[in-house]
Amino acid sequence: MTYDARAGAGSGGCGVAKMSDTPESRGYKRIATEEAWATPELVQLYTQILDTRSINDPGFYSLWGFFGKSPTPRAKDLIDRIQDMGERRLNDMDATGIDMQLLLLTAPGVQVFDPPTATALAVSTNDQLAEIIRKHPTRYQGLAAFAPQAPQAAAREIERAVTQLGLKGAVVNSHTQGEYLDDEKFWDIFAAAEALDVPVYIHPNSPSPQMVEPFLSRCLDAAIYGFAAETGLHALRLIVSGVFDRFPNLKIVLGHLGEGLPYWLYRIDFMHAGIVRSNRSPGALPLRKKPSEYLRDNFYFTTSGMPWEPSISLVQRLFGHDKVMYAMDYPYEYVKEEVDMMDNLPITPQQKKMFFQSNAERIFKLP
């Protein structure tokens, strides 16, 4: 969890956007599409878990352990920012020139609780998010939290959040207590998303309890590498499970420029064909298309925390300029200079508008 508090020193601090920097002057709105928030209720529940060690998830304790009994000033500042949906966040957005945030409940969301608690918490959280958006509809839009622990209730909550609350899709923080959504027991969730024509954003979580140990001992479990290993695995499990043959119009969004998968595509396609041909495992099923074709046809990508031209340009080249969207990952990543770097990407003005604005408007059906 890294961010640069200097960039968000507030009005008058360094890094404040120039007065001339408006959507009109630059030719596009900056819409940041993977921005974290949390309710005070959720933060309190996480604190209880930290105090009582009541769940068996080493990744959770590593992820949220920084906010233990005596948090550092930096941790305290982060936890304040993530809950503040008023002036402070709006000022931070102004200071970095962000016109709109698409809000996602921070990892691991409601996925660490028992099914009834998680389901109720998703409902109350989505209600609160809708209220926040109603107050600032031009600055905030958001995705619905849901509890995969109760898949049918999750599907109903996604439908309620989209049709009644106006949320623009749903977010899942990768594994749920070690389980992945390629298990067919979860597929009512995908059926709902496909029927509503809204995307499911697979946001990272710490690696599942089954895989986290070798990451923990070298502090590689979080954003440095573990998130990508976990979430890339999750996306690949979905692809090879045949979920997109069942739900061909399902849209999935991945952050961090696809969690490493774009770089691997040639090898994934080559090896998957061989694995299926040799009938090596009942888990490796024949698919209608190559794995890379599902990534091209069903997935969208955001830059969250990856403001690096070589990687951005690879993903744009592989999948097209209409598939890649800007994200900051506030408040975890909060560095004004990264926005400047994205403004200076070597792409055409039309492509830059797609990157910062119109892809997000189209994919999330933003007003």
User: Catalytic residue numbers?
Assistant: 329
For Ca ion, the closer CB: 182 or 329: 329
Q: How far is the CB of 103 from Ca ion (least distance, A)?
A: 11
Binding site for Ca ion (CB under 5 A): 329
For Ca ion, the closer CB: 259 or 329: 329
For Ca ion, the closer CB: 172 or 268: 172
Mention every residue, 6+ apart, whose C-beta is less than 8 A from residue 199. 169, 170, 193, 251, 252, 253, 300, 363, 364
Q: How far is the CB of 107 from Ca ion (least distance, A)?
A: 7
367 prior amide bond cis, ω within 30: no
Could you give the 3-state DSSP secondary structure of residue 202? strand
Buried b (16+ CB within 10 A) or exposed e, 80-118: ebbbebeeebbbbbbbbbbbbbbbbbbbbbbbbbeeeeb
For Ca ion, the closer CB: 104 or 265: 104
- Residue 210's alpha-carbon distances to 178, 206, 227, in angstroms, are 7, 11, 14
> Which residue carries 């993903």 as its tokens?
315
| Bridge partners for 325 per DSSP | 302
Query: Running DSSP on this structure, what letter comes out for residue 277?
Result: H
Q: How far is the CB of 332 from Ca ion (least distance, A)?
A: 6
Find the angle CA(231)-CA(105)-CA(27) to the nearest 5 degrees. 90
The dihedrals phi and psi of 339, each to the nearest 5 degrees, come to -65, -40
For Ca ion, the closer CB: 92 or 329: 329
Of the candidates 141, 213, 210, 148, the residue with the CA atom closest to the CA atom of residue 174:
148
Q: How far is the CB of 34 from Ca ion (least distance, A)?
A: 5
Q: How far is the CB of 248 from Ca ion (least distance, A)?
A: 28
Residue with CB nearest Ca ion?
329
User: Which residue type is seen at 342?
Assistant: M
